[in-house]
Chain A
């Protein structure tokens, strides 16, 4: 069993009468990309701020890198959703200062800042004032600001916000290489396609409560409808167990009832159908997200 770098047990946080985080428990394993998902106002940022010791939880426990939150600020990199930089200061100066606040000495912080700037193709901008940079460039500088101290755990709140596709690819590449170095990432994002691409496990929350939690593969399997996609030159019209079929270009989607995909495939093979491709249909994470959140709000009513 892999070691957990972060575990939260029964976290609760209230603001006046509003419950932001409601009895939330989860674990993040060493070396994984963990997706923290939810609609706006679901309690993601509050949860992250509790993990970062910016807010205190009303109740519940957090263990982060073997200690209490706030004990290991130097080992955690944090990219907040509400973020910015000192606009009147120079890029390298800002990065060095933020590195020093993380306990890195000035010279090391500077070297790392230059190396990271080069990595995101901003090395020529190191002497420019932050306000001279475009929004996308500032986003990249903010991203490297949370890597400057070489943290073991990264907590990224909406890292892709405001980035063009080229820069999204660049940040994705950077994240993958960080994970391959053994670092752990907690990712909060609204782009479900990116979450699907990057995350190993996810936690979906709404109104402060957990709706879904676990391995992304397993969740998708659980949500997969009993249907298959088949591509074949010719398909028989009547197959037992099929209650619906829909042609999607060259592929046909069969909805099954009473039989599994395996049995259905066997039936096709038996009827000598020339199969070009066969796959279980999956549901995009986006649909799962929408269904779960809408279902949650309906059950509330």
Chain B
């Protein structure tokens, strides 16, 4: 175990200092910063729009009412709408940044419905007129005495949809429902991305040890299993580091910490889903990383190895492509099959868990299968590894590999 750790630390430490790793990792935050700077310099309006988006408190609309239907302004709109008697006066207020737009309601409004909106900014940043609908509706229905009818006119229906043939469970309203789907979906994507990123490092690491011929020296000190495990742990951590930097920088730049909290909170309300997603993440990564590292040794160059391992990244992504099926019928036979098959189980289960009451047999079965698969792929992987690492020159065919494996 100590040797596994030595290898893991070495792999992590050597690679984390590589210039290309540092550049690639900082690329995403840098691009974010560049985008932000560009938008600040070249689109003050855009900047203004962002500010307005996040700081809605300062959004005030001047209303010049010539129809009389909006005088006086209803008390609940008083903070965001201010009455102006004269259009010129309202325009001055707009120029002085006291208001963000001016709405002129002509006396022909009732018949024609046309109003004039004067706003700062450009077509690019939007006029901010969408918020006006609520203001207009509220004032128009005010003439109706019946409050219940008013309420219905403003918000005509609240649909309680029941889907036949599916036991969707929604807790915490629409937002909760969306979040409880998005979060595991993101987890699934995170797994696919981690596999993708780390597999690149894994393949490069084994290809380098192979082409520099250092591998046999290493194999005289440690077993192929130890080497494989050390690499998977070290480079898995490396991939995770990269992704965490990306997520953190994206969250920081996008002001998205709130978003992040919004994602994490529902997870803690359904701890079992979160816990299981984590279990599937770790197990899924283990299976894929070992496979990729082992198969990666068979190529004679980095590029060739990467081609061979590309197929596994594709398999990991299959359930993502079937999101539609999983969403509409989380307990369909095809979904259950994908849930049991170790290579698709992690991503499938991540998508499926929050959507339905997954039978415990599926959960237990897929986890047990994954747990059995890992030692199996490590054992088989070590054989392929032993074989591939010391085989120089041409890439063997599938039949040859099977034949050689029996003798390895």
Contact = CB atoms under 8 A, between A and B. Distances in A.
Interface of A: 14-16, 49, 52-56, 58, 70, 73, 76, 78-80, 82-87, 89, 97-98, 100-103, 142, 145-146
A15 B29 CA distance: 52
B403 interface: yes
B221 A102 contact: yes
B368 interface: no
A236 B373 CA distance: 86
Contacts of B392: 82
Nearest to A58: B407
Contact of B386 (A15, A54, A78): A54
B78 to A, nearest CB: 68
8 contacts: A52-B219, A54-B216, A82-B390, A83-B217, A100-B10, A101-B218, A101-B222, A145-B217
Interface of B: 2-3, 6-7, 10, 14, 208-209, 212-214, 216-223, 386, 390, 392, 403-404, 407-408
Contact of B213 (A14, A58, A73, A82): A82
Contacts, number: 74
B22 to A, nearest CB: 14
Contacts of A56: 408
Contacts of A87: 212
Contacts of B407: 14-16, 58
Central interface residue in A58, A80, A101, by most chain B CB within 10 Å: A101
Contacts of B404: 15-16
A58 to B, nearest CB: 7
Contacts of B219: 52, 54
Contacts of A89: 14
Contacts of A14: 407
CB-CB nearest 9 A-B residue pairs = A84-B213, A78-B220, A101-B221, A80-B216, A84-B212, A84-B214, A82-B213, A52-B220, A102-B221
B12 to A, nearest CB: 13
Contacts of B213: 80, 82-84
Contacts of B212: 84-87
B7 A101 contact: yes
Nearest to B14: A89
A83 B408 CA distance: 20
A155 to B, nearest CB: 8
A15 B396 CA distance: 14
Contact of A83 (B2, B216, B223): B216
Given A14-B407, A16-B407, A52-B219, 8 more contacts: A49-B390, A52-B220, A86-B208, A87-B212, A89-B14, A97-B10, A100-B10, A102-B221
A153 to B, nearest CB: 12
B386 A101 contact: no
Contact of B6 (A53, A101, A145, A146): A101
A52 B221 CA distance: 9
A201 to B, nearest CB: 23
